[in-house]
Copies of this chain bind each other. A is one copy, B any other.
Amino acid sequence: MAKFNVTNPSGFPEFGPAAEQKRQAWLHIISRSFQSFGFIPITTPVVEREENLLGKGGNAKEMYVLKRLLDEEGDPSHSGNALRFDQTVPLALYVARHQNEITFPFKRSVIGPVFRGERAQKGRFRQFDQCDIDVIGMEKLSLLNDAQIPAIIINIFKALNIGAFKVRINNRKILTGLFKSLNIAETQMKATLDIVDDLEKLPREKILATFTEQGFNQAQVDKILEFVSVESRDFEILKTLCDHEEYLEGVSELQTVIEALEAMNVDQDSYIIDTSIARGLDYYTGTVYETSLTDHPEFGSVCSGGRYDDLASIFTGKAMPGVGISIGLTRLFSQCLEAGLISPDRSSPTEVLLIAADEVALPSLLSLGSNLREAGIVAENYLETKKLAKQFDYADKLGIPYVIVMGEQELSKKVVQLKDMKTGQSETMDIQAVASNLTQRA
């Protein structure tokens, strides 16, 4: 014992029985929602060439390379590979490999692990499941796709049932157009977007100081702050705030997206226009999304994404616009567990435990177990030779709702005792009647 340190390596998720069953229920909800809109699941490799990952934004400080502990052969196929850090670069590579077989627009979904060698920190994972959907067009892609994305996300968050949430929607052209109209230089655009992105997180003085650092004059700062304070679905007002072409294009695109959401009858309390969100990432060029839990702003954005003009031209040589969104499943699930938003109820999928009061009843119970499973009931035979109290204890500890007991007496009469573990009540019933009785109770 003393020889081995069996504690968990930092940052790699482990989920025990109760949590894992909830996590699988989440996975089911997410993949079912993705598919219900016609998104096509694919598996992309977890490993890609280092240079391909670095070429699309990989951070060498966080990227994990794979090396064998003992590498005697010097097999070149073992060198130069690294673990993916997101689901987007593998999508770009997948599209580059298969562009001639793919039917565009390509609506792909993916759920799987990504790896980031971040600093060890509570709540930070070095491996986590990322659930992504993207629609990729060949050269063009209708703006209506930008409306479908939040519709799906709203579906999912309603089904997850972790409290009120809001999908915040914006269009980056609104911000970039506004900045251009204020003569904010192209080179300052990125910094300005980053400040706007931080508006909610930082105190006002700090924002003003940062703007001053960037050399903005008071008129520019006032206009930006006035603008981002607008939070409205009234596009007629938005259109009066600035007359820059790019700005007006952004407003018009946003209006199309919102109108499509309305046409899809999406619950209007679940989304909102928020002209302050910009998303830090360089590659978003139009619609952007963030999602927050109303009662847990400290979680940050739990689901983000947007529209981009160029998925993979460095790999494909072709313009492929896309729009997508990503749920950081492992982080969100862990946050919800910790905040008590998920209450794992039982530690076993078993619906009924079959217990032998005398060993002679075991073969009949084995047969009954098979029959119940065939009837779609999760039935588990207790197989150890233990006292009855110990067997009930097992059902109790795992939260199994029903127990069937059979001893010599019951065997001779072809009956069982069926006990409801919640009420504590038992009833005797014919062995042939058990399956239909349990099915009715479920």
Contact = CB atoms under 8 A, between A and B. Distances in A.
Contact of A47 (B52, B127, B397): B127
A37 interface: yes
B103 A9 contact: no
A197 interface: no
A3 B313 CA distance: 12
Contact of A6 (B43, B52, B75, B144): B52
A6 B97 contact: yes
A101 B16 contact: yes
B75 A68 contact: no
B68 A384 contact: no
A82 B70 CA distance: 12
Interface stretch (A135-143, A276-284, A297-305, A335-343): A135-143
B15 A42 contact: yes
Contacts of A259: 363
A314 B3 contact: yes
A93 B6 contact: yes
Oligomeric state, in number of copies? 2
Interface stretch (A58-66, A183-191, A224-232, A402-410): A58-66
Interface of A: 1, 3-17, 20-21, 23-24, 31, 35-52, 55, 60-73, 75, 77-78, 81-83, 93-94, 96-98, 101, 103, 105, 107-108, 113, 115, 117, 119-120, 126-127, 137, 140-142, 144-145, 147-148, 151, 259-260, 263-266, 314-317, 347-350, 353, 362-364, 366-367, 369-371, 373, 378-381, 383-385, 394, 397-398
Given A6-B52, A21-B41, A65-B67, 11 more contacts: A4-B96, A4-B315, A7-B97, A9-B49, A20-B40, A36-B373, A46-B113, A47-B126, A50-B69, A60-B68, A65-B69
